[in-house]
Amino acid sequence: MKDKGMNILYVIPARGGSKGIPHKNIKLLGGKPLIGYSIELARQLTSDEHICVSTDDEEIVRVVENYGLAVPFRRPKELSGDQVGTYEVLLHALSYYESLGRHYDVLVLLQPTSPFRKEKFVQEALTLYTPDIDMVVSVKEAASNPYYNCYEEDGNHFLHLSKGNGKLIRRQDAPQAWEYNGAIYVINTASLRKMSLGEFPRRRKYVMDDKYSIDLDTPFDWMVAEMMLQENIVTF
């Protein structure tokens, strides 16, 4: 897929190990393997040749191939542990395609743990992207605000407000705060080759509603997601 003249690679990272929810990436959610939501979304955005599932796990490979999507490589062992960051995984994927003579301007990261994002959301995030920034990232309004109800502990174990002077009486008076929801990352590949995602100085936000922002990390998250599907709280 080309958008605004850019070559875009869609990466779905899915390692086999998961401590919070065992076999999370292929566990059935609403009767469908979790990774299937991201595969189906990516296919709405591009053709299979521009979709990369990066995994170290043969069970995940089997599930992905059952969708008719080829897995281009097996992630090497040194990139398979839970101590490995997304940054290294994305660089590895880019390097693989570059070794084939295929170069991408933009990488869209679609983490399987965000099953409720829509094609529309990714397209809207892409429209916010320009080559002079590092990343467009999806966010939701932060549940805790560092100017109002987010605290840090000092050396004497006393709590102090993270930011500000503590004189704000209403949350509405505090500066708005955002948190990443993990759903969409539209990344400048030139920036990615220079620094990690956390170091990017030029980031723009794409705001999503709470109900589409669920990030599956714990069994409780999974229970909530199942309930939302059963009650048709989210639509695709």
Listed residue (31, 26, 18) closest to 53, CA to CA: 26
Measured from the Cβ of residue 21, the count of other Cβ atoms closer than 10 Å reads: 16
Residues 99 and 149 in one domain: no
Mean pLDDT in residue range 37-60? 97
Whether 227 maps to a domain, the answer reads no
**In the block, which residue shows the tokens 């080559």?**
131
Whether 79 maps to a domain, the answer reads yes
pLDDT, tens only, 136-171: 999 999 999 999 999 999 999 999 999 999 989 898
Residue scoring higher pLDDT (148 or 84): 148
Residues 35 and 148 in one domain: no
Angle between helix 119-128 and helix 34-45 axes, rounded to 10 deg:
50
Domain count, the chain: 2
Residues 121 and 209 in one domain: yes
pLDDT, tens only, 170-180: 989 999 999 99
Please give the backbone phi and psi of residue 79, each rounded to the nearest 5 degrees, phi first: -115, 20
Percent of the chain past pLDDT 90, that is, above it, reads 87
Residues 74 and 163 in one domain: no
Residues 125 and 151 in one domain: no
Q: Is the pTM of this model over 0.85?
A: yes
Question: Given pLDDT bands bounded at 50, 70 and 90, which one contains residue 84?
Answer: confident
Whether 229 maps to a domain, the answer reads no
Residues 119 and 162 in one domain: no
Give the per-residue pLDDT at 1: 42
Question: Given pLDDT bands bounded at 50, 70 and 90, which one contains residue 234?
Answer: very high
Whether 211 maps to a domain, the answer reads yes
Percent of the chain past pLDDT 70, that is, above it, reads 97
Residues 106 and 214 in one domain: yes
Residues 133 and 158 in one domain: no
Domain span including residue 154: 143-176
Residues 124 and 169 in one domain: no
Residues 56 and 151 in one domain: no
Q: Mean pLDDT score of the chain, rounded to an integer? A: 94
Whether 226 maps to a domain, the answer reads no
Residue scoring higher pLDDT (221 or 6): 221
Residues 111 and 165 in one domain: no
Question: Given pLDDT bands bounded at 50, 70 and 90, which one contains residue 2?
Answer: very low
